[in-house]
Amino acid sequence: MAKLSTPFSSNPISFRDRLQTPVQFVKGVGPKLAKLLERKGIRTVEDGLYFLPRSYEDRRHLKQISELQAGRKETGFGEILLSGMAFYQNRKRKVFEVLVSDGSGMIKLKWFHGHERYLKDRFQKGRRLIFSGEVRWFNYQKEIHHPDVEIVEGDIEKDYLNFKRIVPIYSETEGLYQRTLRRLMKTIVDEYSDELKSPIPKEILERQDLIDFSEAFRRVHFPPDGESIERLNLHRSDGHRRIIFDEFFFLELGLALKKRGVALEKGISFKTEGHLAKQFLHRLSFQLTHSQERTLSEIVTDMEKPHPMNRLIQGDVGSGKTVVALMAALRVVECGYQAAIMTPTEVLAEQHYLTVHRWVEPLGVKVALLTSNVKGLEREEIYRHIRSGEVQIVIGTHAVIQEQVEFHRLGLAIIDEQHKFGVVQRGLLKKKGENPDVLVMTATPIPRTLAMTLYGDLDISLIDELPPGRMPVTTKIFPESARNRVYRIVEEEVKKGRQAFLVYPLVEESEKLDLKNATQMAEHLQKEVFPSFRVGLLHGRMKSEEKEAIMMEFKERKIDLLVATTVIEVGIDIPNASVMVVEHAERFGLSQLHQLRGRIGRGNYPSQCILLAHYRSSEEARIRLQAMERTHDGFKIAEQDLELRGPGDFFGIRQSGLPDFRVAHILRDTSILIEARKEAFRLVQEDPHLEKPYHAGLKEALRQRWKGRLELATIG
């Protein structure tokens, strides 16, 4: 019987196979440690190599405690003299303290929150430890709050893995500590780093002054002596730069090929006089802004070309993206084709439907709404009308891309709030027609570099001005204790003939969350706070007709105060509304608060957005709300949101169909991203099908990185 190839045998197996070796089979691991490593996402050797240190400590020369300086991040070594719980502020606040000495002085290490039993067990009297963090003075005593700590065993003079060098600090989990991680990473790096290959052409590496790929991993895990600790901790070392460039390059290479593939596809040329669009514009009670006109002109130019349009419209809340998209849809309808508008939520789909069908059905254009709420015979009938071409504009959620939906002639796919969908869903909608034009919209302002990354295969139009006559909105944070003052502001506005929104995070009372809810508060406000005003209620659980009726009553001023959930986040236009109160504002994300605020300030009156916050909120919530007070600029708010939440959460990158970043960070590494994009697009321009023999490895690497999410038909 033939001998099986193992990761350590001399049989030739591909570098991919060796890198996919389960970490359990690495020397010194075994099943128990493998389970702990899995918590950190380390399942294979390759995962281990990409599990880079989160920071570094300079242990080449350890300072004595007496030499540690307040106001600086320092690393020290000593023995535990005392440990246990201490009480402050009349016993209201518990703090776990560890007193450490090295003979030259003493320092207190403090934990304000943490598992008491775990801390007691770990920090026992007599144990030696390494600690690191920002040193401060308190009551004539040096201390560090929530330090990084490592228990030390053995002779530090002979421990060259954990001392006498720049030491990597990894992200830990209970039962998995630094010394174990360092030992394991040393084994993985020594045994496997040579297997790491990157087929980026040599001339690009030379132009960008990039080091060897496997050498980059060796340096990042165990930096050589001359490395700068500052650059390492900022992820700016040569090793970090090489790994980050690699991730960005293959993302951008995929996007460059997708963009080129679209340019090669045969599309539909929509050449028309635009009579329907002109009639529609004539019926509107307002003029397009210069920004809308410019964007429409870019769209029309694209639509007349013989290959498919792939364009992103970026515009702040209330900038009029829907009107522009609808005018594009009407051009398609005039040419005998259909348009589909896909939105991430049923609420948004319903709102678009209510607006669009009122606008275009008088022009003889038939519109249908397709969501999971539409069931049975009604659903079958809509399918039939779409198939026959009788319905010219379809508005819906994911329901639009279900298998049963067949279009007669889909000419334009419009995707709203694109960041909530992914490349995959965009592709599925596109497949419903013969290479239809694609128009994607987002009201989430994205800094240009990030838009280039997420939508690298799209052309970008920016609607960067609001319709004329928009009044500024003043935003203020009020604590719960100022509730009566807030109610007086609302009362004054309504007495002036204005209207108000009061927004709540929940529809109904929740057992788990101690939050005010829209249903109860509508009743309370009507009976006890504003008995002389007319209070309405709107939330996502209502039927479509109920929502439409309530919105019409509010629009016609039959309702003074509209109590609502975030159902009003988008697509609602009430020029007479001049005040919005957001309850439990600390529970909302920045982009969501910005969207909500966009519902007011649409008339000729100064408007106020009041953020009623229940201040046991976190530091992050405070930063969020203060950003809302400071600025109205959607791009600044988006950047703040990105910093707070990180790109993965902000974009939902994990659902977007883009390759995941293991190391690269879109915000931190912008300059590397720009260089990687430049090189990737240049390469595709020089070798559009990656046919040159020395580019063969790029195809395989692309398939590995994109894992089937990129249609590589154009490159064989």
3-state SS, 19-63, equals HCCEHHHCCCCHHHHHHHHHHCCCCEHHHHHHCCCCEEEECCCCC
Per-residue pLDDT tens over the stretch 313-365:
888 777 788 899 999 999 999 999 999 998 887 777 887 888 898 899 999 99
Find the mean pLDDT for residues 473-496. Answer: 93
Task: Collect contacts of 298-302 with beta carbons under 8 A, ≥24 apart.
Answer: 298/459, 298/461, 299/324, 299/328, 299/439, 299/461, 300/274, 300/328, 300/331, 302/437, 302/459
Q: Reduce the DSSP state of residue 218 to 3 states and report it.
A: helix
Q: What is the pLDDT of residue 625?
A: 87
Per-residue pLDDT tens over the stretch 628-683:
888 877 777 777 776 666 555 444 444 455 666 888 887 788 889 889 999 999 99
Write the DSSP symbol of residue 105: -
Q: What is the pLDDT of residue 63?
A: 86
Quick one: which of 549, 496, 559, 555 has its CA closest to 526?
Answer: 559
Question: Is residue 603 over pLDDT 60?
Answer: yes
Highest mean pLDDT pick, 84-93, 392-401, 699-708: 392-401
Q: What is the pLDDT of residue 640?
A: 73
Find the mean pLDDT for residues 531-560. Answer: 87
Q: How many CA atoms, within 13 angstroms, populate the side-chain half-sphere of residue 141?
A: 15
* Apex 57 CA angle, 55 and 63, nearest 5: 155
- The share of the chain scoring above pLDDT 90, in percent, equals 39
Question: How close are the terminal C-alpha atoms of the chain, in Å?
Answer: 39
Q: How many CA atoms, within 13 angstroms, populate the side-chain half-sphere of residue 247?
A: 19
The residue count of the chain comes to: 716
Instruction: Give how far Cα 546 sits from Cα of 62, 537, 575, Å.
Output: 70, 10, 21
Helix axes 238-264, 670-686, angle to 10 degrees: 40
Among 99-108, 552-561, 582-591, which stretch is predicted with the lowest mean pLDDT? 582-591
The two tokens of residue 272 are 């028309």
Place of tokens 């015979």: 377
Write the DSSP symbol of residue 447: -
**pLDDT band, residue 617 (cuts 50/70/90):** low
What's the pTM? 0.62
Question: Is residue 569 over pLDDT 70?
Answer: no
pLDDT higher for 423 or 556? 556
Among 52-61, 379-388, 487-496, which stretch is predicted with the lowest mean pLDDT? 52-61
Q: How many CA atoms, within 13 angstroms, populate the side-chain half-sphere of residue 371?
A: 18
CA 102 to chain centre: 46
Which contiguous run of DSSP H or E holds residue 275? helix 275-283
**Domains of the chain and any CATH numbers:** 1-57+167-223 (no CATH), 61-164 (2.40.50.140), 473-631 (3.40.50.300)
The two tokens of residue 386 are 């779409």
Question: Is residue 10 over pLDDT 60?
Answer: no
Non-local (6+) Cβ contacts of 70 within 8 A are: 135, 136, 137, 142
Find the mean pLDDT for residues 236-260. Answer: 91
Amino acid at 649: D
Write the DSSP symbol of residue 317: T
Question: Is residue 427 over pLDDT 70?
Answer: yes
Q: What is the pLDDT of residue 62?
A: 82
Quick one: which of 288, 363, 340 has its CA closest to 319?
Answer: 288
Non-local (6+) Cβ contacts of 395 within 8 A are: 340, 341, 343, 349, 352, 353, 356, 367, 368, 369, 370
Q: What string of DSSP letters covers 155-167? A: -TTT-TTTSSSEE
Distance CA 534, CA 525 (A): 10
Question: Is residue 716 over pLDDT 90?
Answer: no
Find the mean pLDDT for residues 615-626. Answer: 73
Question: Is residue 469 over pLDDT 60?
Answer: yes
Distance CA 497, CA 473 (A): 18
The two tokens of residue 483 are 């509730």
Question: Is residue 715 over pLDDT 60?
Answer: no
CB-CB contact of 594 with 634 (8 Å): yes
Question: Is residue 294 over pLDDT 70?
Answer: yes
The two tokens of residue 530 are 């504003």
Place of tokens 């049989």: 11
Find the mean pLDDT for residues 408-418. Answer: 86
Strand partners for 608? 474, 579
Q: What is the pLDDT of residue 106?
A: 94
Per-residue pLDDT tens over the stretch 57-115:
888 888 899 999 998 888 888 999 999 988 876 666 788 999 999 999 999 999 987 77
Per-residue pLDDT tens over the stretch 128-161:
988 988 999 988 899 999 888 888 887 776 677 7
Backbone angles phi, psi at 647, to 5 degrees: -60, -35
* Apex 435 CA angle, 429 and 440, nearest 5: 50
On average, the pLDDT of the chain sits at: 83
Distance CA 416, CA 355 (A): 15
Q: What is the pLDDT of residue 188?
A: 94
